[in-house]
Amino acid sequence: MEFTLYGLKERQGDQPVCHVSGFEADAYANWANARLPTEAEWEVAAKKQRFDFKPGALLHPQAAAPDDTAGPLLQLYDSCWQWTASAYRAYPGFKIQEGAIGEYNGKFMSNQWVLRGGSCVSNAGHLRPTYRNFFYPEDRWQFSGIRLARNP
């Protein structure tokens, strides 16, 4: 069973795993003889895809449809945020601005990991290949999940 925004429901085996910490995602990747992608790898792969976000009112990750034609990477934006192996750091050339926005960005660029993609409850205006999300790796934030990478 799992608790959803609709209450307690039976777990569906083909739904994406969600609400995992960055450490759990990394441990699973190692167990699966894979790794978490870097932030840059995720973005390059996502930019090669057709934007596949399908807004809806499901409020819970769903299994990928067997006839989905979005490309080889399914569910980039409509299921779970995906942990990356990258620390949340400033892009080259970034400068902290004066005032509250600078304080916000400056203090949060410490000890956090980047998540990419989006989730089934994300605002569609935030979903694009370049959008960065960030959380502490020990936390299980809303709809955080796993995407594996393997070296060729």
pLDDT in tens, 89-117: 888 888 878 888 777 766 777 889 999 99
pLDDT at 70: 61
Q: Are 15 and 62 in contact (CB under 8 A)?
A: yes
Assigned domain for 3 exists: no
Supply the range of the domain harboring residue 90. Answer: 14-62+72-145
- Which two structure tokens, joined as six digits, stand for 113? 């990991």
C-alpha separations of 152 from 34, 49, 75, 86, 128 in Å: 11, 19, 22, 20, 26
* Cα separation values, 110 from 127, 135, 136, Å: 23, 10, 9
CATH number at residue 83: 3.90.1580.10
Q: What is the pTM of this model?
A: 0.86
Residue 57 confidence (pLDDT): 63
Count of domains observed in the chain: 1
Cα 22-14-62 angle, rounded to 5 deg: 80
Q: What is the pLDDT at residue 54?
A: 62
- The answer to whether residue 4 sits within a structural domain is no
Token representation of residue 96: 């902290």
Distance from C-alpha of 51 to C-alpha of 127, rounded to nearest angstrom: 9
Q: Is residue 6 part of a domain?
A: no
Percent of the chain clearing pLDDT 90 (strictly above): 43
Look at residues 61, 67, 107, 103 and name the one whose alpha carbon lies nearest to residue 88: 107
Could you identify the residue written with the tokens 């020990």? Answer: 138
CA 82 to chain centre: 2
> Is 19 contained in some domain?
yes
Other beta carbons within 10 angstroms of residue 37's beta carbon come to: 23
pLDDT of 68 = 63
Q: What are the pLDDT tens digits along the chain (152 aa)? A: 888 888 898 888 888 989 999 999 999 999 999 999 999 999 999 998 877 666 566 788 888 877 666 667 888 888 899 999 999 988 888 887 888 877 776 677 788 999 999 998 888 888 889 999 999 999 998 899 999 999 98
Q: What is the DSSP string of 125-136?
A: GG-STT--EEE-
Residue 2 lies in a domain: no
pLDDT the model gives residue 65: 75
